[in-house]
Amino acid sequence: MFRNLRNLRNLIQPGKKRLFYFHKSHEIIFRSVEIALYFFSAIRNLALNLYCTLGGHAMLNHIWFWMIALAIFIAAGNDIYNEFAAEKPAVQTEQKRNLSEETKLGQVTSAALKGASTGVEIAIGLIGVMALWLGVMKVAEEAGLTRMLARGVRPITKRLFPSIPTEHPAISAMIMNIAANMLGLSNAATPLGLKAMEELDKLNPNKGEATDDMCTFLVINTSAITLIPATAIAIRSSLNSVNPQIIIIPSILAATCATIVGLTTVKLIQRFNRKKAADKNMPKGD
Amino acid sequence: MEFFKTSIDWLSIAVIPVMLLVFLGMGYAKKVKVYEKFVEGAKEGFEVGVKIIPYLVAMLVAIAMFRASGALDILTVVLRPFTELIGMPSEVLPMALMRPLSGSGSLGVMTELMKTHGVDSLIGIMASTMFGSTETTFYVVAVYFGAVNVQRTRYALPAGLVADAAGLIAATLITRALF
């Protein structure tokens, strides 16, 4: 960092005539690249420090709490505003008001209850496909197919998931999940993804905490590249679009950007954590 | 493009039967007791489903409350100046904010946008590209980590959200450039 600063000073100080007399033209390029790198690392450190102050590894606790707390505050604020400050229609009906439907707070309450039961419904609905795919995967494992698949994709997975053994069943489950996502087979993708998480958890030294590989896998998954965004196309054609498929290429491009940025973020955080752990000369933790 | 789509469509119809046939067939050929092993594996399905429930309930309750409170409207107003800088129409911003939170919610927003502004308008294409190019990150985090009882998700959610933001911005810029 100090070297960079000194270079910056050399550029600015006219006494050394650095700014005006470049003996070699490539020095300009070197210097501008160096300055750019300096700013890039400053921004990166700022972002990572921000991440740490925001709760670091326990971040979900904060996000979850503030989503609920903000929802209640904002709903209450809306209601108070509507009750006292907002202009009301001149004609007041004498009808009894249904507060639980009319107010934001009432809506938030019913949304919470409905969300809870939706969670159970989704989980129960998953059981059938889960069972089907876990059964098929078990047969494939016994037949040695998953090992073959894992060996085939080794060049890619070696880079992304360096700590997973080559022929581990986690690899094949992850590859099949990503393939299913690409083809838009969400019914098969989720069970295969959960199978992959289960296998990844077998390699987890401290249970209850996500490993680096889990996070990498999850980011690939959430920015999933889909070759055919089927739902969006179906809705477009139901609304009589001239060309419903026009979104295919833009979607693939945008999802590729998301995947690249996501993977870069994950790898940067992993490197930062490793460096921090090495600095303190103690094992990685919260 | 048409050929690409039909071939992918056929592939996605054929892939599951072919996979079932190949997997079970290979097992059968290698004298694996296919039925018994299938049942053995399938038993875990129920456990996984039940394991996910608390995680999904926690996540979906928070998301449902957040959506019902009108917090997204406030976020829209706050973020509008920034998103206008990159050329995202302010009508599309609710779609971008909803996308990581809720699949059904963003589906509704997308349909509404296409109905009011036209399917083949820039706004319609941008919204459907956003829908097609990103996932509901909060849901995926809850389900995937729930299945293995992981409570401390570390940096998975922020990294996923960064990826989403990149995808949404890319969708805006790409549709702007192309249409």
| Interval B41-59 mean pLDDT | 90
B33 to chain A: nearest residue by CA? A139
Question: Which residue pairs from A8-12 have beta carbons closer than 8 angstroms and sit at least 24 positions apart in sequence?
Answer: A8/A35, A8/A38, A11/A35
Q: Give me the pLDDT at residue A6, please.
A: 55
- For residue A53, what pLDDT is reported? 64
SS (H, E, C) chain A: CHHHHHHHHHHHCHHHCCCCCCCCHHHHHHHHHHHHHHHHHHHHHHHHHHHHHCCHHHHHHHHHHHHHHHHHHHHHHHHHHHHHHCCCCCCCCCCCCCHHHHCHHHHHHHHHHHHHHHHHHHHHHHHHHHHHHHHHHHHHHHCCHHHHHHHHCHHHHHHHCCCCCCCCHHHHHHHHHHHHHHCCCHHHHHHHHHHHHHHHHHCCCCCCECCHHHHHHHHHHHCCCCCCCHHHHHHHHHCCCCCHHHHHHHHHHHHHHHHHHHHHHHHHHHHHHHHHHHHHCCCCCC
pLDDT band at B19 (very low <50, low <70, confident <90, very high): confident
The Cβ of residue A187 has, within 10 Å, a number of other Cβ atoms equal to 14
pTM: 0.82
Could you tell me if A136 and A187 are in contact, meaning their C-beta atoms sit under 8 angstroms apart? Answer: no
Query: Which of A20-24, A93-97, A218-222 is modeled with the greatest confidence?
Result: A218-222
What is the sign of the dihedral through the CA atoms of B93, B94, B99 and B103? Answer: negative
Predicted confidence band of residue A7 (pLDDT cuts 50, 70, 90): low
Residue from A49, A245, A119, A100 nearest B51 by CA: A119
User: What's the gap between Cα A145 and its chain centre?
Assistant: 30
The pLDDT of residue A145 is 85
Task: Decide which of A90 and A98 is more confident.
Answer: A98
- Do you know the residue count of chain B? 179
User: Which residue bears the tokens 């876990």?
Assistant: A134
Among the ranges given (A3-7, B59-63, B81-85), the one the predictor scored with the smallest mean pLDDT? A3-7
- Which of B144, B164, B173 would best serve as a mutation to test chain A binding (most A beta carbons within 10 A)? B144
Nearest residue in B to A54, CA atom: B158
Neighbours of B129 (CB within 10 A): 33
Interface test with B, best of A72, A101, A102, A136 (most B CBs within 10 A): A136
Give A276's pLDDT tier (boundaries 50, 70, 90): confident
Higher pLDDT, A271 or A58: A271
- The crossing angle, in degrees rounded to 10, of helices A169-182 and A212-222 is 10
Q: How do residues A19-46 score in pLDDT, each as one tens digit?
A: 445 556 667 777 788 888 888 788 777 7
Cβ-defined contact of A243 to B120 (cutoff 8 Å) = yes
Inter-chain residue contact B37 with A142, CB threshold 8 Å? yes
Asked whether the predicted pLDDT for residue A214 surpasses 90, the reply is: yes
Q: How far is B171 from chain A (nearest CA, A)?
A: 5
**A87 or A249, which is more confident?**
A249
How far apart are alpha carbons A228 and A19 in whole angstroms?
53
pLDDT of residue A13: 53
CB atoms within 10 A of CB B4: 13
Name the residue facing B158 among A59, A191, A227 (closest C-beta).
A59
> What residues of chain A, 212 to 231, have a C-beta less than 8 Å from chain B?
214-215, 218-219, 221-224, 226-231
Using pLDDT thresholds of 50, 70 and 90, give the confidence band for residue A286.
very low
pLDDT averaged over every residue in chain A: 82
Tell me if B115 sits within 8 A of A239, measured CB to CB. Answer: yes
Mean pLDDT of B51-79: 92
HSE of B94 in the Cβ direction (CA atoms, 13 Å)? 16
CA distance B35 to chain A (A): 9
- Residue A115: closest CA among B52, B61, B105, B67: B61
Residue A4 pLDDT = 56
Asked if the model's pLDDT at residue A12 lies above 60, the reply is no
The reported pLDDT for the residue numbered A1 is: 47
Segment 103-142 of chain B within 8 Å of chain A by CB: 107, 110-111, 114-115, 119-120, 124-125, 128-135, 137, 140-141
A131 contact residues in B (CB cutoff 8 A) = 42-46
**What's the mean pLDDT when you consider all of chain B?**
90
Which residue did the predictor score with more confidence, B44 or B12?
Answer: B44
Contacts of A201 in chain B (CB under 8 A): 148, 150
Determine whether the interchain pair A215/B159 forms a contact, defined as Cβ–Cβ distance below 8 Å. Answer: yes
For the stretch A118-165, pLDDT in tens is 999 989 988 988 899 889 988 988 888 888 888 888 888 888 898 898
Taking the Cβ of residue A241 and every Cβ of chain B, the question of whether any pair is shorter than 8 Å is answered with yes
Q: How far is A195 from chain B (nearest CA, A)?
A: 9
| Residue B104's pLDDT band (cuts 50, 70, 90) | confident
Residue A94 has what pLDDT?
Answer: 56
Instruction: Report yes or no: A156 at the B interface, CB cutoff 8 Å.
Output: no
* Site from B66, B78, B133, B168 to mutate, A interface, most A CB atoms within 10 angstroms: B133
For B140, the enclosing helix (H) or strand (E) is helix B137-146
Q: Which residue of B has its CA nearest to A286?
A: B154
Contacting A residues, span 57-116, partner chain B, CB-CB under 8 Å: 57-60, 63-64, 67-68, 70-72, 74-75, 78, 104, 107-108, 110-112, 114-116
Q: What is the model's pLDDT at position B61?
A: 95
What's the average model confidence in pLDDT over B73-97?
91
Please report the sign of the dihedral spanned by the C-alpha atoms of residue B117, residue B120, residue B121, residue B126: positive
- pLDDT value at residue A88: 66
What pLDDT does residue A9 have?
Answer: 54
Contact B139, A194 (CB under 8 A): no
Residues of B with Cβ-Cβ distance to A286 under 8 angstroms = 152
Q: Could you tell me which chain A residue has the CA closest to the CA of B10?
A: A183
pLDDT band at B9 (very low <50, low <70, confident <90, very high): confident
Q: In this complex, is the C-beta atom of A203 within 8 Å of any C-beta atom belonging to chain B?
A: no
Please list, in sequence order, all residues whose beta carbon lies within 8 angstroms of the beta carbon of residue A120, skipping any fewer than 6 positions away: B53, B56, B57
Tell me, what's the pLDDT at B172?
94
